[in-house]
């Protein structure tokens, strides 16, 4: 009786081992399949996102380029043929007002006169720098690393897309298109004038 019990117990243990072994194999295969499926799914999703983004960008870029060239549809005679449509993309009028920038560097006019300082590399708050051309007597008033509020005298908008002007106001970003800023006053900015809430410039048609 005792011998039969031992044999039965051994058989039960062996069966349990087979079961647990099968479960372990199953779980291992499950985890491996899950990892592979997740990886392939991510790759396919990434590629799909790239394809969709490229297609959308291509379509929008094509439409914009076609409009800028006067609605060209492949006929060489139509390139630039509709000047009114092309001109309608840009704002016409004057802009003026105050803006605040941080000075990063004073630079010479390499293309015009490399022996003279002509530009200040400036940026709006937490924004990318751009070059602002000032009068020679104004540049010594600036010190790198400091923030200044400048008053812009009325001057015409040149080559500025219409999206930067609205309801009598112009985004300070129009200064990036400005070949020569007509600045009437420069002073150190107050704490209230620094930050993201910079007022718009005045725009008049």
The answer to whether 150 touches 101, Cβ cutoff 8 Å, is yes
Tokens of 182: 């007509």
Please state the domain extents for the chain. 1-72+80-89, 91-204
Distance, in Å, from the CA atom of 66 to the CA atom of 60, rounded to the nearest integer, reads 10
Closest CA to 127 of 86, 87, 93, 173: 173
What are the C-alpha distances in Å from 165 to residues 90, 151, 159, 170, 186? 10, 18, 12, 4, 24
Taking residues 90-119, what's their average pLDDT?
A: 88
How would you label 89-110 residue by residue, b for 16+ Cβ within 10 Å and e otherwise? Answer: eebeeebbbbbbbbbeebeeee
More confident residue, 144 or 16: 144
Picking from 88, 91, 83, the residue whose alpha carbon sits closest to that of residue 160 is 91
For 20-56, write each residue's pLDDT tens digit: 555 566 666 666 666 666 555 554 444 445 445 555 5
- Provide the whole-model pTM: 0.56
What number of CA atoms fall less than 13 Å from residue 31's CA on the CB side? 5
Query: How many whole angstroms separate alpha carbon 7 and alpha carbon 15?
Result: 12
Contact yes or no for 203/170 (Cβ under 8 A): yes
Rounded-to-integer distance, Cα 99 and Cα 126, Å: 14
| 95 vs 85, higher pLDDT | 95
pLDDT at 178: 83
């Amino acid at each position: 009786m005792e011998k039969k019990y031992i044999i039965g117990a051994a058989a039960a243990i062996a069966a349990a081992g087979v079961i647990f072994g099968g479960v372990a194999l199953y779980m291992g295969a499950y985890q491996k399949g899950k990892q592979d499926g997740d990886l392939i799914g991510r790759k396919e999703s990434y590629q799909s996102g790239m394809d969709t983004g490229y297609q959308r960008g291509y379509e929008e870029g094509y439409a914009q380029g076609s409009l800028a060239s006067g609605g060209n549809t492949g006929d060489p005679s139509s390139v630039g043929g509709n000047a009114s449509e092309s001109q309608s993309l840009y704002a016409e009028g004057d802009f003026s007002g105050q803006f605040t920038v941080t000075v990063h560097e004073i630079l010479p006019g390499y293309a015009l006169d490399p022996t003279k300082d002509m530009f200040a590399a400036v940026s709006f708050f937490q924004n990318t720098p751009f070059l602002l051309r000032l009068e020679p007597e104004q540049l010594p008033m600036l010190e790198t690393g400091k923030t200044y509020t400048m008053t812009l005298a009325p001057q015409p908008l040149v080559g500025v897309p219409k999206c930067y002007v609205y309801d009598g106001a112009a985004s300070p970003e129009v200064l990036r298109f400005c070949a020569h800023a007509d600045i009437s006053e420069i002073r150190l900015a107050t704490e209230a004038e620094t930050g993201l809430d910079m007022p718009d410039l005045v725009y008049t048609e």
